[in-house]
Structure formats: C-alpha cells, structure tokens
Amino acid sequence: MLTPKFQTHFAGFMNQFVALRRLSGTDYDSQIKLLVYFDKFLLNVAFQKDFITSEIIDQYLQTLSHLHPRSQGNRISVVRQFCQYIAQQEPNSYIPEPLHYPHAYSSRIPYIYTPNQITKILHAAGNLSPQASIRPHTYTSFFGLLYTTGLRLSEAINLTINDLDLSSQLLYIRKGKFRKDRWVPLSRTTTEKLQIYLQKRRKVPPRGADAPLFINLNQKRLNSHTVYSTFRILLHQCQLRKLKGAGPRIHDLRHTFAVHRLLQWYRQGKDLHACLPALATYMGHIDIRSTQLYIHATSELLEQVNQRFHSFACQTF
C-alpha cells in the first residue's frame, strides 16, 4: 500500500481524503500518485489559500496540455473528487467539471486475433527454448489462459498454485482491479490444459500452495516486462508484427476474448441482453459500460447480427 507524501498545507485534508477512499475497499494507490502531482503543483506555485479556486484549477489544466486527453481526464477526476471532499467543509471551494472527450479519442484500435492466429501463437510459444525447461509450457499455458478467459495481464501474473480449483473448473482472482476478488469458471479444454501444465509445474520449485503459478527460468514469478517482450517475439515469428514499431498487443487478447465470446453467443441464439451482464462480471468490470469498450465489429460478428435481424424481420413482416 502506497504511503502518500503530501507537502502543502492541504496535506491534512489530502490524507483524510485518501483514508476515506480506502475505507470503501478501493485500491487508491494509482489515484494517490495523481493527487501527489496536484499537490506538487500547488507547492511550486506557492498557493496559499485555504480552499481551491477556479483560477488555480485553470492554471493546473494548462500544465496538463502536453498529456493525452485520457491522462488529463484521469488527473482532473482525482482532483475533482478531492475538491468535492473539501467543499463539504469549505463551501467556497471550487469543484471543477469533469473533462469530456468523444469516444474517438481512444489511442489505438484493438486488434482482434483470429482462431488460426491464436493457434500459431500458442504453437510458437511451445517451441520456445530451452525445450527441456518449464518455459515453453509456462508461456503456452499463460497466453492460452489470457485468450480463453480474458484475464487482465496482472491478474494472470499474480496467480498462485492455490488459486486453481481444477476439480470445480474454477480460477480464483485475488484483488483484481479495484481490489475486487472473483471466481472465474473455466472451460473443459482450458481445465485440461492447465491440469497438464500443473503436473509439470509441480516438478519445479517453489511448489507450495502460495507459490506463483507461472514462473520464469529463475523460478521466480513472471514479470510484465518479460511477458511483453516474449509476446512480441512470438508475434514476430508468426509474422503479425515487426520487432520494432506498433502492432498487435498482448492486451488485445482480452478484446479478442470478448468478441469471440459474443460471436459464440450469437451463433447459439442466446439473448445478448441477458448475457452481457454476465460477461461484465466474468471480466471483472463494475458495470456493462466498461465491457462495451471491448466489443468490436468484425466481419463474422456483423454477419451474425445481419442473420439475426433477417430472421426477426421475416417473422415480423
């Protein structure tokens, strides 16, 4: 847990505000960093008033002009929450409006992998060296799990051996985003693959229940930097991206999971209005709006939508 170091005369208010947010069970470490930026700004401009003014917020906004709109919005969102807290005790304190940007400001369009591409990536992972080590088995299972469950990268990295309940085909996610725990059901084939991996994993120390599920050659927990670089190498081998420059990302596996899940439901004739809340819960989202950001139109998905509309139109007219 991050210990904030505020330096202005607002430090007392800021510490109280952070403590209050943490009482709600929210992981507030990333937001603390954004609040520290605001505190440093107030210190640099020698702001001495006992409440926040609209003028000082405008000055702060000018210092953020070089940032991506999403980053600007995140910083102002935290400041706005803090201003709302101060306003409860000092009515003259200014509360800035949230920054609104059109959805089009998203920095990049997610890449939706095809099933054939996923197969090639997992095959390439299985050929990683050294072949006699745990490494090829680790990365095949790791990337396969990301694709079949849509887990966040950090959630998969933080898994322990004890988080696998293969007899019930369940995976326990501890303290995911917003410090929320959840159970993730696994498919039969994913369970079988993880069972095979676990048998190989238990031959390599550490073997305790709290030991990392996915480890590197040094028998330590995988880290995100190594996972990113390994995935880029696999994409290069599969001719999906160059070693340098932009291209498909590992996070796109999460987008691909959502799209492929939706496509399967369409093919099964499921009620999407009933299924989408379940998908949101499965992916660890607070509400369905976050899940909608992971749903993208593909040719296969549009074909299914058109077929369903055609069937509906024929029955109606």
User: pLDDT (tens digit, 9 = 90+) per residue, 197-207?
Assistant: 999 999 999 99
The edge-to-edge listing of strands for the beta sheet with 170-173 is 164-165, 170-173, 182-185
Provide the pLDDT confidence category of residue 5 given band limits of 50, 70 and 90. confident
Q: Left (φ > 0), alpha (ψ -120 to 50) or beta: where does 245 sit? A: left
Q: Domain-by-domain residue ranges, the chain? A: 11-105, 115-250, 253-316
Residues marked as catalytic: 152, 177, 251, 254, 285, 294
User: Any alpha helices (H) in 1-114, and if so which ranges?
Assistant: 11-23, 29-44, 54-63, 69-87
Give CA–CA dist 241/235, Å, rounded. Answer: 6
Q: What is the dihedral of CA 200, 204, 205, 207, to 10 degrees?
A: 20
State yes or no: pLDDT of 37 exceeds 90. yes
Report the alpha-carbon distance of residue 156 to residue 177 in Å, rounded.
Answer: 12
As a whole number of angstroms, the distance between CA 15 and CA 103 comes to 34
pLDDT of 256 over the 60 cut = yes
Residue type at 153 in one-letter notation: L
Predicted pLDDT at 104: 43
**Dihedral sign computed on CA atoms, order 299, 296, 149, 212:** positive
pTM value > 0.85: no
Beta bridge mates, 148: none
Residue written as token pair 């847990």: 1
Q: 173-226 pLDDT, tens per residue?
A: 987 666 678 999 999 999 999 999 999 999 999 999 999 999 999 999 999 999
Top CATH class of 115-250 equals: mainly alpha
When pLDDT is averaged across residues 21-37 and rounded to a whole number, the result is: 79
